[in-house]
Amino acid sequence: MVAVVAAGVAYYLFTNGNVKVDMALKSATLYDFKVKGLDGSSIDFAQFKGKKILVVNTASKCGFTPQYEGLERLYKRFSDKLVIVGFPSNDFLDQEPDKDAEIAAFCQRNYGVTFPMAAKIDVKGKRQAPIYQWLTNKSLNGVESSAVLWNFQKYLIDENGRLIKHFPPKTDPEDPAIVALID
């Protein structure tokens, strides 16, 4: 009986909205994650050890879509110490309805994106991807809880795979506050 009650309490404590959070993520760093890339390959975050990582949920039909330009400039400017990983998501007003191959072509054709792009995922709700559970839940990342408010919300990770902080969608990728934390 005690085990059943403990399991219920654990479920309650580690639930983010209606998303059942994987308690194994509690001791994780971003380096513990692997995700599928837009091209079907695997993106293993462990390969980025020693660099800061900017994780951004993206969409092709959003008012913030031009931020791809700033993200690409930031990626090139700090390529020796920063990796940017884009996560296309259709969670906000159907602003990323395309399939992975179409998203990749759009990003390359319109913005010359060269930073890694993950396959389309859910960044909120009942099907929230584990990496976004970690990013948005203080009990997992140890820093802060944050709902993903819209496309192009940014999460900056330090060289050890730990969350530094998040930035709202309207924050320009080259905002001095972001640059100062990278440089």
Strand order in the sheet with 163-167: 82-88, 52-58, 154-157, 163-167
| Eight-class DSSP state of 48 | G
Handedness of CA 95, 99, 105, 108 (dihedral sign): positive
Pairing of strands 163-167, 154-157: antiparallel
Candidates 63, 37, 56; CA nearest to 116 is 37
Q: Which of 35, 62, 179, 181 is catalytic?
A: 62
Provide the strand spans (E) within the chain: 15-16, 19-20, 34-36, 42-44, 52-58, 82-88, 154-157, 163-167
Q: Is 107 a catalytic residue?
A: no
Which two three-digit tokens encode residue 157?
Answer: 């990770």
Residues with catalytic roles: 62
